[in-house]
Chain A
Amino acid sequence: MDVLHNLSFGFEQALTLQNLLYCALGCTVGTLIGLLPGLGPLSTISLLLPLTYSIPTGGALIMLAGIYYGAQYGDSVSAITMKIPHASSIVACIDGYQMTLKGKTGLALFTAGLSSFIGGTVAIIVLSTMAPALGEVGFLFGPADYCALMLLGFFCVSFVSAGSLLNGLAMAMVGVLLGVVGTDVNSGVARYTMDLAFLQDGIGLISIALGCFGIAEVVKNLDNKNVLTPFNGKIKLMPTWPEFKRIWPSALRGSVIGSILGILPGGGPTIAQFAAYAADKKFSKYKHEIGTGCIEGVAGQAAADEAAARTSFIPLMAIGIPENAVMALMMAAFVVKGIQPGPNMIATHPDLFWGLVASMWIGNCFLLVLNVPLVRYWLSVFKIPYTVLFPAIMFFCCIGTFSINNSIDDIYTTAVFGLIGYLFLRLDMEAAPLMLGFILGPMLEENFRRAMLLSRGDFGVFVSRPISGTLLAVIAIVVVWQVVAFFRAVRKKSAPAIDAVVPTTS
């Protein structure tokens, strides 16, 4: 058994004392910051990314992965107990909070913890079997195929995270344009640098991320002025046997759905949660109870959440294209450490790849231990008022941006992107596609130019190659579907308006 052999090799890597510590630290810090209002996985990772620069490669990646799924999990805890969702755990608010209202918080948290564990375990099986296989496919990709795949990623992410294809796509394009800033690799021309020396290497990723997700989010929360009431209810964790039996079917269903949706371009935890919740509503034995606070409504989505958070590493590590904004940040972390994710990664760095996979399962155990018995201590985080919290968040933003290059200039860049991020926020423009566009922009340009060079300027190459042709066809279908849906909505809206006018005139 090749997979088993590889996995045991991975566990050897991950079970060193040092890596165990990094994993535990990542999970703990990730959960802690993920719990805080206004800080989802994206801002948590960008805040903590600079701190991992001084850690050895394997440990840094293990820790970042831990931060990611820890933050993802912390999010669902705050959603269940107090109905404060970040973008990543909207679904947990529905049934989870209903259960809290019924006084079954402990049961909801236990269900979420156990289901997350099941979801994570299933996802790791998928990850260890699928990623190497997909890596083989990755070798078949030419420049044109990469372009098409990135475009598909933009379309899918726009659709998923912004809810509207047009808005999301616009943000992705703004991101691509920001990615162009700096010295052009092919010709050495400095583009859009305004003669500023620190822009020669391009705009700092962390500056953009912390500006748009850190500073802008802080101001948004200040504008809202909502006061949080800390959770003070009793928590009874252990479920009864019949309750315990109800968790399994939903959690397994959610794991499978999450694993699949995590791999697809634009996929990830958010869409997986919605899909799993919808599936439970349709197929669960207790579907009539969903929405009123029942176990199935929590179990399915929690499992899908954690499963998708892990399988979304597959496209990044096997093909080298991150499929959503969080993975784009992960990719930046890989590159900083001198590792180019892609088909070659598994072959050239098997210790990192299998170590990371194994550490995800270990992280899973840590999360279960950290969160299920100790959850009541975590909840005391909410007793910190926001007036104390936000100067601290700003402090971390500043230290984070500064310590990348030890340069004060980066803090000014962060301030500029804080303003831009605030404008985006007030204009209902989702910043997640911008992140993805920014990371993929230079790769898109590079591959586009290479593809055109190879084909001597003939656009036919995008259609004639089977992989890119198929991907572009999928994009075309999505666009046509969106346009049709828009015109239908307009017609439907104007129809009742006419109906309303008719009776009054007659």
Chain B
Amino acid sequence: MNNRNFVRGMFLMAIAALFGGVATRYTVGTFGHSGPGLFPIMVSAFLFLIGLITAVRSFFVERLPVDYNVKNIAVILASLVGFALISEHLNMILGIVFMVFVSTLAGTSYSVVRNIKIAICLVAIAFAFKNLLGLNLPLY
């Protein structure tokens, strides 16, 4: 079903079921003396109700399709995760260069020269942050 409102309702119910389901494993207790599970269960129940109303309501209001573009979000997330992995195992300068070159794949145009310029600027800013503002960046 490609209907934004309906998908949203389902999505909310899934989140509520996930949090509520896990919460039942914690001690619930009574209202007067509540355990760690009580509050999440109450909130999840409320959220589930909202999700249900949203899903039912979607049949009465205008249908809007879900439009999305897998490529852009995938490229951006890949560049983020790559940045984190490279910074963790090698160093952050390489991470920045990797991020610039991968993330610009999502842009409207691609230019290696421009990417090199951006990367140099960002590395310079990173050095300024490290030395002037005292941020503890593992640059090299």
Enumerate chain A interface residues (CB-CB to B < 8 A). Answer: 50-51, 54, 166-167, 169-170, 173-174, 176-177, 180, 184, 186-187, 189, 191-192, 215, 218-219, 222-223, 225, 227, 386-388, 390-392, 394-395, 398-399, 402-403, 406, 408, 411-412, 414-415, 418-419, 422-423, 426-429, 445, 448-449, 452-453, 455-459, 486, 490
Contacts and interface: CB of A to CB of B under 8 A. Distances in A.
A173 B40 CA distance: 10
Contacts of A394: 76, 79-80, 99, 103
Contacts of B11: 423, 427
B84 A408 contact: yes
A187 B27 contact: yes
Contacts of A169: 50
Contacts of B46: 173
Contacts of A419: 73, 77
Most chain B CB inside 10 Å of its own CB: which residue of A189, A191, A448: A191
B30 A457 contact: yes
17 contacts: A166-B50, A170-B8, A170-B51, A173-B16, A174-B12, A180-B39, A222-B76, A222-B107, A395-B125, A399-B135, A403-B129, A411-B84, A412-B81, A414-B80, A415-B81, A458-B32, A486-B57
Interface of B: 4, 7-8, 11-12, 15-16, 19, 22-23, 26-27, 30-36, 38-40, 43-44, 46-47, 50-51, 53-54, 57, 60-61, 64, 66-69, 72-73, 76-77, 79-81, 83-84, 87-88, 96, 99-100, 103-104, 106-109, 114-115, 118, 121-122, 125-126, 129, 133-137
A427 B133 contact: no
Contacts of B4: 426-428
A402 B57 CA distance: 42
A217 to B, nearest CB: 11
Contacts of A486: 57
Contacts of A218: 76
A344 to B, nearest CB: 26
Contact of A391 (B19, B73, B108, B122): B122
Contacts of B96: 395
A453 B33 contact: yes
Contacts of A219: 72-73, 76, 106
A387 B107 contact: yes
Contacts, number: 180
Given A191-B40, A394-B99, A490-B60, A225 B108 contact: yes
Main secondary structure on chain A at its contact with chain B? Answer: helix
A225 B76 CA distance: 15
A173 B47 contact: yes
Contacts of A459: 31
Contacts of B72: 219, 222-223
A166 B114 contact: no
Given A191-B26, A395-B122, A427-B7, A415 B84 contact: yes
A61 B96 CA distance: 30
B32 A186 contact: no
Contact of B88 (A227, A391, A408): A408
A177 B16 CA distance: 9
A25 to B, nearest CB: 12
A54 B103 CA distance: 30
Contacts of A412: 81, 84
Contacts of B31: 452, 457-459
B95 to A, nearest CB: 8
B36 A453 contact: no
A387 B108 contact: yes
A412 B115 CA distance: 24
Contacts of B104: 387, 391
A395 B99 contact: yes
B88 to A, nearest CB: 5
A429 B66 CA distance: 12
Contacts of B51: 170
B136 A403 contact: yes
Contacts of B47: 170, 173-174, 177
Contacts of A392: 118, 121-122
Contact of B87 (A191, A408, A428, A490): A408
Contact of B136 (A388, A406, A453): A406
Contacts of A490: 60-61
A418 B73 CA distance: 9
Given A192-B19, A390-B103, A167 B54 contact: yes
B76 A418 contact: yes
B103 to A, nearest CB: 5
A3 B47 CA distance: 45
Nearest to B88: A408
Nearest to B103: A391
B65 to A, nearest CB: 10
B112 to A, nearest CB: 13
Contact of A177 (B15, B61, B84): B15
A447 B69 CA distance: 42
B35 A415 contact: no
Nearest to A427: B8
B15 A452 contact: no
